[in-house]
Amino acid sequence: MVKCKPKDGDELRPRLVKCPPASYYQKLKSQTENARAGPIPIPPAEKRSAQQVINGLKMLSRGWDSAVESSISVPPELFFFEGVASRFYSTGENPDLSSLVRGLGVGKVFLPNTDYGIVLYETSSTVYFVLFDASRRIAVREPLFCHRNAPPECDWSKIRRSIDSAVASAATEEAAKKGLYAVYDGTLKMVAPEGLETTSSKPPESAA
């Protein structure tokens, strides 16, 4: 899990979530392999302003700037849900963002009941960031923190490039006409909603 690190004197960077039990990972593996499984139970929602969400995101990794903020494009207000080793932000009060995340694992897009959502979740070694934006027809998943990397913190600029690449691809005339979503999850793919069709793919852009 993400450990606290000194930041600006005595201030500590908080943990993303509490450390889940070992049994959680077996359950998560089973859910990932079954993209059509029922949604992960989520507690009642709380409201968060855009600034509250941004403040929480920027301290999770390095390289946050105005370009990153513009690419993520957080709406004025979001509902906040917290699950086991996961956090959800959504414009809808009853989204199914867990199905979206499981679908990405098998190259499919299961549309959640929301127009915009952010998911932060942990595996045994990595914290992932997932962005869904129906208005731009994009779904992006990128690691934020990985214990196997040096340094372990990933750079927000890499996530920004992935988002911008997805937005540009989804905005093409062909993609708009067919209603395809641009999914960036290691590679960029154009996918029909509900995982019905994958029409093209290309390798990820190299880091600047």
pLDDT tens figures, 49-63? 999 999 999 989 999
Tracing tokens 């992935």 back to the chain, one arrives at: 162
Q: Is the pTM of this model over 0.75?
A: no
Q: Are 140 and 125 in contact (CB under 8 A)?
A: no
pLDDT tens figures, 44-97? 689 999 999 999 999 899 999 999 999 999 999 999 988 888 999 999 988 889
User: Low-confidence residues of the chain, pLDDT below 50?
Assistant: 1-15, 17-20, 24-25, 34-38, 40, 195-208
From the centroid of its chain, how far is CA 181?
15
The reported pLDDT for the residue numbered 194 is: 74
The reported pLDDT for the residue numbered 124 is: 85
